[in-house]
Structure 1
Amino acid sequence: MLLKKFDENKEALKQIGREAIAESRRLGLPISARDLQNEAEDQATFEQRKRISAA
């Protein structure tokens, strides 16, 4: 139960981060190298899941 809740909270925090980066881009604010790296890793994971589910 706690592990499930932890995973849900982790995903919620990731979503908040994605939204914050999108908002920063929209406002023209600089984005840190760490945020860009995290975004690239997140995108790669998403693409990998997408390819697996398509197969």
Structure 2
Amino acid sequence: MAVDDVFPIVTSADLERLLPFYTDVLGGEKVYQFPPDGAAGDGSVQRTPTATC
């Protein structure tokens, strides 16, 4: 059985502080936030897959 995708689910008491780490430091793109305006209660960050050995 081949695994094509793996994604973590991360919970945080301070999502507003965590999102910049995933976008600015790790190079992800915020693709979803709820609510759309104001402080995020839920969100999704996506990175372009990279080749593995």
By the TM > 0.5 criterion, same fold?
no
Higher-helix-fraction structure: 1
TM-score normalised to structure 1 length: 0.25
Q: Which has the higher contact order (CA 8 A, sep 6+)?
A: 2
Higher-strand-fraction structure: 2
Higher-Rg structure is: 1
TM-score normalised to structure 2 length: 0.25
